[in-house]
Structure 1
Protein backbone atom coordinates (compact mmCIF):
# COMPACT_ATOMS: atom_id res chain seq x y z
CA UNK A 1 0.00 0.00 0.00
CA UNK A 2 1.37 3.43 -0.90
CA UNK A 3 1.55 6.48 1.29
CA UNK A 4 -1.29 8.98 1.07
CA UNK A 5 -0.45 12.50 -0.11
CA UNK A 6 -2.84 15.06 1.31
CA UNK A 7 -1.92 18.46 -0.09
CA UNK A 8 -0.86 20.24 -3.27
CA UNK A 9 2.39 21.28 -1.55
CA UNK A 10 4.84 18.48 -2.34
CA UNK A 11 7.10 19.67 0.49
CA UNK A 12 4.65 18.20 3.02
CA UNK A 13 5.31 14.59 4.05
CA UNK A 14 2.93 11.85 2.96
CA UNK A 15 1.15 9.85 5.63
CA UNK A 16 2.48 6.27 5.96
CA UNK A 17 -0.16 3.54 5.46
CA UNK A 18 0.23 2.15 8.98
CA UNK A 19 -0.57 5.60 10.40
CA UNK A 20 -3.60 5.96 8.11
CA UNK A 21 -4.90 2.52 9.13
CA UNK A 22 -4.36 3.27 12.82
CA UNK A 23 -6.08 6.65 12.50
CA UNK A 24 -9.09 5.09 10.75
CA UNK A 25 -9.47 2.56 13.56
CA UNK A 26 -9.27 5.29 16.19
CA UNK A 27 -11.66 7.57 14.32
CA UNK A 28 -14.18 4.74 13.99
CA UNK A 29 -14.07 4.21 17.75
CA UNK A 30 -14.16 7.75 19.03
CA UNK A 31 -14.80 10.25 16.22
CA UNK A 32 -12.14 12.30 14.46
CA UNK A 33 -12.11 15.32 16.73
CA UNK A 34 -11.95 13.27 19.94
CA UNK A 35 -8.89 11.30 18.89
CA UNK A 36 -5.49 12.61 20.00
CA UNK A 37 -2.16 12.24 18.22
CA UNK A 38 -1.15 10.01 21.14
CA UNK A 39 -4.10 7.71 20.41
CA UNK A 40 -3.02 7.36 16.77
CA UNK A 41 0.64 6.85 17.66
CA UNK A 42 -0.23 4.17 20.22
CA UNK A 43 -2.54 2.40 17.76
CA UNK A 44 0.16 2.53 15.06
CA UNK A 45 2.75 1.20 17.50
CA UNK A 46 5.25 3.96 16.80
CA UNK A 47 4.98 6.14 19.90
CA UNK A 48 4.06 9.79 20.04
CA UNK A 49 7.61 11.04 19.39
CA UNK A 50 7.79 8.77 16.35
CA UNK A 51 4.63 10.33 14.96
CA UNK A 52 5.92 13.87 15.44
CA UNK A 53 9.30 12.87 14.01
CA UNK A 54 7.50 12.09 10.76
CA UNK A 55 6.47 15.76 10.63
CA UNK A 56 2.77 15.00 10.40
CA UNK A 57 0.01 17.38 11.43
CA UNK A 58 -3.36 16.25 12.73
CA UNK A 59 -5.24 17.71 9.76
CA UNK A 60 -2.99 15.80 7.35
CA UNK A 61 -3.81 12.52 9.07
CA UNK A 62 -7.55 13.30 9.03
CA UNK A 63 -7.42 14.12 5.31
CA UNK A 64 -5.39 11.00 4.59
CA UNK A 65 -7.99 8.83 6.34
CA UNK A 66 -10.79 10.35 4.25
CA UNK A 67 -8.80 9.97 1.03
CA UNK A 68 -7.92 6.38 1.88
CA UNK A 69 -11.59 5.56 2.43
CA UNK A 70 -12.50 7.36 -0.81
CA UNK A 71 -9.92 5.25 -2.67
CA UNK A 72 -11.53 2.07 -1.38
CA UNK A 73 -14.96 3.31 -2.40
CA UNK A 74 -13.77 4.19 -5.92
CA UNK A 75 -12.48 0.65 -6.43
CA UNK A 76 -15.88 -0.80 -5.56
CA UNK A 77 -17.68 1.71 -7.79
CA UNK A 78 -15.61 1.34 -10.96
CA UNK A 79 -17.54 -1.66 -12.38
CA UNK A 80 -20.78 0.35 -12.15
CA UNK A 81 -19.25 3.20 -14.17
CA UNK A 82 -17.84 0.87 -16.81
CA UNK A 83 -21.18 -0.45 -18.05
CA UNK A 84 -21.54 0.03 -21.80
CA UNK A 85 -24.49 2.44 -21.88
CA UNK A 86 -25.14 5.61 -23.88
CA UNK A 87 -23.30 8.48 -22.21
CA UNK A 88 -26.36 10.28 -20.83
CA UNK A 89 -27.72 7.09 -19.26
CA UNK A 90 -24.30 6.05 -17.95
CA UNK A 91 -23.76 9.46 -16.37
CA UNK A 92 -27.15 9.46 -14.67
CA UNK A 93 -27.04 5.89 -13.38
CA UNK A 94 -23.34 6.03 -12.52
CA UNK A 95 -23.76 9.32 -10.66
CA UNK A 96 -26.69 7.99 -8.68
CA UNK A 97 -24.69 4.91 -7.74
CA UNK A 98 -21.72 7.03 -6.62
CA UNK A 99 -23.91 9.31 -4.51
CA UNK A 100 -26.07 6.62 -2.96
CA UNK A 101 -23.09 4.41 -2.16
CA UNK A 102 -21.22 7.34 -0.64
CA UNK A 103 -24.21 8.49 1.36
CA UNK A 104 -24.76 4.95 2.59
CA UNK A 105 -21.16 4.34 3.66
CA UNK A 106 -21.11 4.47 7.46
CA UNK A 107 -17.38 5.05 7.88
CA UNK A 108 -17.15 7.80 5.27
CA UNK A 109 -20.11 9.64 6.75
CA UNK A 110 -18.68 9.25 10.25
CA UNK A 111 -15.40 10.76 9.06
CA UNK A 112 -17.16 13.67 7.38
CA UNK A 113 -19.54 14.29 10.29
CA UNK A 114 -16.84 14.29 12.96
CA UNK A 115 -13.93 15.90 11.13
CA UNK A 116 -14.40 19.60 11.84
CA UNK A 117 -10.76 20.45 11.07
CA UNK A 118 -11.01 19.57 7.37
CA UNK A 119 -12.86 21.65 4.80
CA UNK A 120 -14.72 18.84 3.04
CA UNK A 121 -15.77 20.93 0.06
CA UNK A 122 -12.16 21.91 -0.63
CA UNK A 123 -10.80 18.42 -0.01
CA UNK A 124 -13.35 16.54 -2.13
CA UNK A 125 -14.14 19.13 -4.79
CA UNK A 126 -10.97 21.24 -4.83
CA UNK A 127 -7.48 20.82 -6.32
CA UNK A 128 -6.28 17.95 -4.11
CA UNK A 129 -4.19 15.76 -6.47
CA UNK A 130 -5.25 12.48 -4.85
CA UNK A 131 -8.94 13.27 -5.17
CA UNK A 132 -8.43 14.41 -8.76
CA UNK A 133 -6.65 11.14 -9.55
CA UNK A 134 -9.48 9.13 -7.97
CA UNK A 135 -12.05 11.05 -10.01
CA UNK A 136 -10.06 10.30 -13.16
CA UNK A 137 -9.95 6.58 -12.30
CA UNK A 138 -13.70 6.54 -11.73
CA UNK A 139 -15.02 8.87 -14.42
CA UNK A 140 -12.17 9.25 -16.91
CA UNK A 141 -13.02 6.10 -18.93
CA UNK A 142 -16.67 7.17 -19.18
CA UNK A 143 -15.75 10.63 -20.47
CA UNK A 144 -13.14 9.30 -22.92
CA UNK A 145 -15.60 6.74 -24.28
CA UNK A 146 -18.23 9.45 -24.74
CA UNK A 147 -15.72 11.69 -26.53
CA UNK A 148 -14.69 8.84 -28.86
CA UNK A 149 -18.34 8.14 -29.71
CA UNK A 150 -19.25 11.78 -30.28
CA UNK A 151 -21.60 11.73 -27.30
CA UNK A 152 -19.75 14.52 -25.48
CA UNK A 153 -20.52 18.16 -26.22
CA UNK A 154 -17.97 19.60 -28.63
CA UNK A 155 -15.13 21.50 -27.02
CA UNK A 156 -15.50 20.00 -23.55
CA UNK A 157 -12.17 19.87 -21.72
CA UNK A 158 -12.09 16.48 -20.00
CA UNK A 159 -10.02 17.69 -17.06
CA UNK A 160 -12.42 20.56 -16.39
CA UNK A 161 -15.36 18.20 -16.87
CA UNK A 162 -13.97 15.96 -14.11
CA UNK A 163 -13.68 18.95 -11.78
CA UNK A 164 -17.22 20.03 -12.65
CA UNK A 165 -18.67 16.58 -11.96
CA UNK A 166 -16.81 16.36 -8.64
CA UNK A 167 -18.19 19.75 -7.65
CA UNK A 168 -21.73 18.65 -8.46
CA UNK A 169 -21.28 15.42 -6.51
CA UNK A 170 -19.99 17.27 -3.44
CA UNK A 171 -22.91 19.71 -3.56
CA UNK A 172 -25.46 16.91 -3.89
CA UNK A 173 -23.76 14.81 -1.23
CA UNK A 174 -23.58 17.58 1.36
CA UNK A 175 -27.22 18.64 0.79
CA UNK A 176 -28.93 16.51 3.43
CA UNK A 177 -32.34 17.98 2.51
CA UNK A 178 -32.37 16.31 -0.91
CA UNK A 179 -34.06 13.01 -1.65
CA UNK A 180 -32.76 10.48 -4.16
CA UNK A 181 -35.37 11.76 -6.60
CA UNK A 182 -34.12 15.33 -6.14
CA UNK A 183 -30.53 14.26 -6.80
CA UNK A 184 -31.57 12.40 -9.94
CA UNK A 185 -33.44 15.48 -11.18
CA UNK A 186 -30.35 17.67 -10.69
CA UNK A 187 -28.23 15.18 -12.64
CA UNK A 188 -30.73 14.71 -15.47
CA UNK A 189 -31.73 18.36 -15.82
CA UNK A 190 -28.40 20.11 -15.28
CA UNK A 191 -25.35 17.83 -15.20
CA UNK A 192 -26.14 15.75 -18.28
CA UNK A 193 -27.11 18.70 -20.55
CA UNK A 194 -23.93 20.51 -19.57
CA UNK A 195 -21.76 17.69 -20.94
CA UNK A 196 -23.73 15.59 -23.43
CA UNK A 197 -23.95 16.34 -27.13
CA UNK A 198 -27.43 17.31 -28.23
CA UNK A 199 -29.42 14.36 -29.47
Structure 2
Protein backbone atom coordinates (compact mmCIF):
# COMPACT_ATOMS: atom_id res chain seq x y z
CA UNK A 1 0.00 0.00 0.00
CA UNK A 2 1.29 3.43 -0.95
CA UNK A 3 1.65 6.00 1.77
CA UNK A 4 0.03 9.33 1.09
CA UNK A 5 2.31 12.35 0.91
CA UNK A 6 1.10 15.22 3.05
CA UNK A 7 -0.48 17.96 1.00
CA UNK A 8 1.54 21.16 0.98
CA UNK A 9 -0.34 24.22 2.10
CA UNK A 10 0.52 27.87 1.90
CA UNK A 11 0.91 27.89 5.68
CA UNK A 12 3.50 25.09 5.74
CA UNK A 13 5.45 26.85 3.02
CA UNK A 14 5.21 30.20 4.81
CA UNK A 15 6.41 28.61 8.07
CA UNK A 16 9.37 27.05 6.23
CA UNK A 17 10.14 30.36 4.49
CA UNK A 18 10.13 32.24 7.79
CA UNK A 19 12.53 29.66 9.26
CA UNK A 20 14.82 30.12 6.25
CA UNK A 21 14.63 33.91 6.58
CA UNK A 22 15.63 33.66 10.22
CA UNK A 23 18.48 31.28 9.40
CA UNK A 24 19.89 32.83 6.20
CA UNK A 25 18.29 36.26 5.97
CA UNK A 26 15.58 37.30 3.51
CA UNK A 27 17.97 38.46 0.80
CA UNK A 28 19.94 35.21 0.79
CA UNK A 29 16.98 32.81 0.94
CA UNK A 30 16.11 31.27 -2.41
CA UNK A 31 12.94 29.52 -3.49
CA UNK A 32 15.02 26.31 -3.59
CA UNK A 33 15.81 26.82 0.12
CA UNK A 34 12.11 27.26 0.88
CA UNK A 35 11.12 24.19 -1.16
CA UNK A 36 13.72 22.07 0.63
CA UNK A 37 12.75 23.35 4.08
CA UNK A 38 9.05 22.77 3.42
CA UNK A 39 9.75 19.33 1.92
CA UNK A 40 7.94 20.09 -1.33
CA UNK A 41 9.10 20.13 -4.91
CA UNK A 42 9.89 23.46 -6.50
CA UNK A 43 7.00 22.77 -8.88
CA UNK A 44 4.61 22.53 -5.92
CA UNK A 45 6.08 25.66 -4.38
CA UNK A 46 5.62 27.61 -7.61
CA UNK A 47 2.08 26.27 -7.96
CA UNK A 48 1.21 27.88 -4.61
CA UNK A 49 3.40 31.01 -5.01
CA UNK A 50 4.20 31.84 -8.62
CA UNK A 51 7.31 33.84 -7.72
CA UNK A 52 9.57 34.87 -4.86
CA UNK A 53 7.97 38.35 -4.73
CA UNK A 54 4.53 36.70 -4.48
CA UNK A 55 5.72 34.66 -1.48
CA UNK A 56 7.25 37.73 0.16
CA UNK A 57 4.08 39.77 -0.46
CA UNK A 58 1.95 37.06 1.09
CA UNK A 59 4.16 36.90 4.20
CA UNK A 60 4.29 40.71 4.46
CA UNK A 61 0.49 40.81 4.24
CA UNK A 62 0.18 38.24 7.01
CA UNK A 63 2.56 40.20 9.21
CA UNK A 64 0.72 43.48 8.57
CA UNK A 65 -2.56 41.80 9.51
CA UNK A 66 -1.10 40.42 12.74
CA UNK A 67 0.47 43.78 13.58
CA UNK A 68 -2.79 45.58 12.80
CA UNK A 69 -4.63 43.39 15.28
CA UNK A 70 -2.26 44.66 17.98
CA UNK A 71 -3.69 48.14 17.32
CA UNK A 72 -7.34 47.13 17.72
CA UNK A 73 -7.53 47.90 21.49
CA UNK A 74 -6.37 51.47 20.78
CA UNK A 75 -8.83 52.05 17.95
CA UNK A 76 -11.74 50.62 19.95
CA UNK A 77 -11.33 53.36 22.55
CA UNK A 78 -10.24 56.36 20.43
CA UNK A 79 -12.93 59.00 19.92
CA UNK A 80 -11.19 61.76 18.00
CA UNK A 81 -10.23 61.56 14.32
CA UNK A 82 -7.48 64.11 14.91
CA UNK A 83 -6.02 61.96 17.70
CA UNK A 84 -6.34 58.81 15.56
CA UNK A 85 -4.62 60.47 12.60
CA UNK A 86 -1.66 61.52 14.75
CA UNK A 87 -1.42 59.08 17.66
CA UNK A 88 -2.95 56.13 15.78
CA UNK A 89 -0.57 56.69 12.89
CA UNK A 90 2.42 56.93 15.23
CA UNK A 91 1.36 53.72 16.96
CA UNK A 92 0.88 52.01 13.60
CA UNK A 93 4.35 53.03 12.45
CA UNK A 94 5.91 51.91 15.77
CA UNK A 95 4.18 48.53 15.67
CA UNK A 96 5.40 47.98 12.11
CA UNK A 97 8.93 49.05 13.07
CA UNK A 98 8.88 46.58 15.98
CA UNK A 99 8.80 43.55 13.66
CA UNK A 100 12.37 42.88 12.47
CA UNK A 101 11.31 40.20 9.99
CA UNK A 102 8.75 42.49 8.37
CA UNK A 103 11.36 45.25 8.13
CA UNK A 104 13.82 42.86 6.55
CA UNK A 105 11.25 41.59 4.06
CA UNK A 106 10.31 45.08 2.86
CA UNK A 107 13.72 46.69 3.32
CA UNK A 108 16.30 44.10 2.37
CA UNK A 109 14.59 41.69 0.01
CA UNK A 110 15.69 43.69 -3.02
CA UNK A 111 12.19 43.39 -4.50
CA UNK A 112 10.74 46.57 -6.00
CA UNK A 113 7.36 44.82 -6.02
CA UNK A 114 7.32 44.95 -2.21
CA UNK A 115 7.72 48.73 -2.21
CA UNK A 116 4.67 48.85 -4.46
CA UNK A 117 2.86 46.40 -2.18
CA UNK A 118 3.41 48.70 0.79
CA UNK A 119 1.70 51.50 -1.08
CA UNK A 120 -0.96 49.50 -2.92
CA UNK A 121 -1.76 47.10 -0.10
CA UNK A 122 -4.25 44.31 -0.65
CA UNK A 123 -7.94 43.65 -0.15
CA UNK A 124 -7.06 41.92 3.13
CA UNK A 125 -5.12 44.96 4.41
CA UNK A 126 -7.82 47.38 3.23
CA UNK A 127 -10.46 45.31 5.06
CA UNK A 128 -8.38 45.28 8.25
CA UNK A 129 -7.77 49.03 8.13
CA UNK A 130 -11.44 49.72 7.43
CA UNK A 131 -12.34 47.71 10.52
CA UNK A 132 -9.91 49.79 12.60
CA UNK A 133 -10.45 53.24 11.11
CA UNK A 134 -14.07 52.96 9.95
CA UNK A 135 -15.78 53.67 13.30
CA UNK A 136 -13.55 56.71 13.92
CA UNK A 137 -14.21 58.02 10.39
CA UNK A 138 -17.96 57.43 10.77
CA UNK A 139 -18.00 59.29 14.07
CA UNK A 140 -16.08 62.22 12.54
CA UNK A 141 -18.46 62.29 9.57
CA UNK A 142 -21.51 62.48 11.87
CA UNK A 143 -19.84 65.26 13.88
CA UNK A 144 -19.16 67.20 10.64
CA UNK A 145 -15.39 66.93 11.08
CA UNK A 146 -14.50 64.76 8.07
CA UNK A 147 -14.09 66.55 4.76
CA UNK A 148 -17.29 66.10 2.72
CA UNK A 149 -17.37 63.57 -0.09
CA UNK A 150 -14.60 61.36 1.32
CA UNK A 151 -15.58 57.73 1.69
CA UNK A 152 -14.08 55.45 4.31
CA UNK A 153 -12.39 53.46 1.53
CA UNK A 154 -10.75 56.62 0.16
CA UNK A 155 -9.67 57.84 3.60
CA UNK A 156 -8.21 54.46 4.53
CA UNK A 157 -6.38 54.18 1.21
CA UNK A 158 -4.89 57.64 1.76
CA UNK A 159 -3.88 56.83 5.35
CA UNK A 160 -2.35 53.53 4.17
CA UNK A 161 -0.36 55.38 1.49
CA UNK A 162 0.96 57.86 4.03
CA UNK A 163 1.89 55.05 6.44
CA UNK A 164 3.59 53.11 3.63
CA UNK A 165 5.66 56.12 2.62
CA UNK A 166 6.59 57.03 6.19
CA UNK A 167 7.49 53.45 7.08
CA UNK A 168 10.20 53.55 4.42
CA UNK A 169 11.84 56.54 6.16
CA UNK A 170 13.97 55.20 8.98
CA UNK A 171 15.56 58.62 9.47
CA UNK A 172 12.44 60.26 10.97
CA UNK A 173 12.12 60.45 14.75
CA UNK A 174 8.78 60.65 16.57
CA UNK A 175 8.79 64.46 16.67
CA UNK A 176 9.33 64.69 12.91
CA UNK A 177 6.64 62.11 12.23
CA UNK A 178 4.19 63.92 14.51
CA UNK A 179 4.92 67.24 12.80
CA UNK A 180 4.42 65.74 9.33
CA UNK A 181 1.19 64.01 10.32
CA UNK A 182 -0.14 67.19 11.96
CA UNK A 183 0.85 69.44 9.07
CA UNK A 184 -0.15 67.25 6.14
CA UNK A 185 -2.32 64.23 7.05
CA UNK A 186 -4.71 65.91 9.50
CA UNK A 187 -5.74 68.80 7.20
CA UNK A 188 -6.13 66.45 4.24
CA UNK A 189 -9.04 64.66 5.98
CA UNK A 190 -10.23 66.86 8.83
CA UNK A 191 -12.21 70.09 8.42
CA UNK A 192 -10.47 72.98 10.14
CA UNK A 193 -12.45 73.54 13.34
CA UNK A 194 -10.76 76.86 14.19
Whether TM exceeds 0.5 here: the answer is yes
Query: Any residues of structure 2 matched to 1:149-164 within 5 Å, and which?
Result: 149-164=143-158
Match of 2:184 among 181, 184, 190: 190
1:105 aligns with 2:99: yes
Moved more, 33-42 or 162-171: 33-42
Moved more, 171-180 or 68-77: 171-180
Aligned to 2:159: 165
Aligned to 2:44: 50
| Preserved CA contact (<8 Å) 2:137 2:152 | yes
| Matched position secondary structure for 1:152 | coil
TM-score computed with the length of structure 1 as normaliser: 0.83
Asked which structure has the greater CA Rg, the reply is: 2
1:61-98 Cα shifts (integer Å, max 9, x gaps): 11111111111101111111222322211221111100
Aligned to 1:96: 90
| Preserved CA contact (<8 Å) 1:31 1:111 | no
Aligned to 1:148: 142
Structure 2: which 5+ residue stretches go unaligned?
Answer: 1-8
For residues 132 and 20 of structure 2, what CA distance do their matches in structure 1 show?
A: 28
| Matched position secondary structure for 1:23 | helix
Aligned to 1:75: 69
Question: Could you say what the CA RMSD is over the residues aligned between the two structures, in angstroms?
Answer: 2.0
Aligned to 2:3: none
| Preserved CA contact (<8 Å) 1:92 1:192 | yes
User: CA 1:127 to 1:55, structure 2 compared with 1: closer, same or farther past 3 Å?
Assistant: closer
Structure 1: which 5+ residue stretches go unaligned?
Answer: 1-14
Moved more, 148-157 or 69-78: 148-157
- Moved beyond 6 Å, runs of 4+: none
| Preserved CA contact (<8 Å) 1:81 1:138 | yes
In the alignment of these two chains, the number of paired residues is 185
User: CA 1:71 to 1:55, structure 2 compared with 1: closer, same or farther past 3 Å?
Assistant: closer
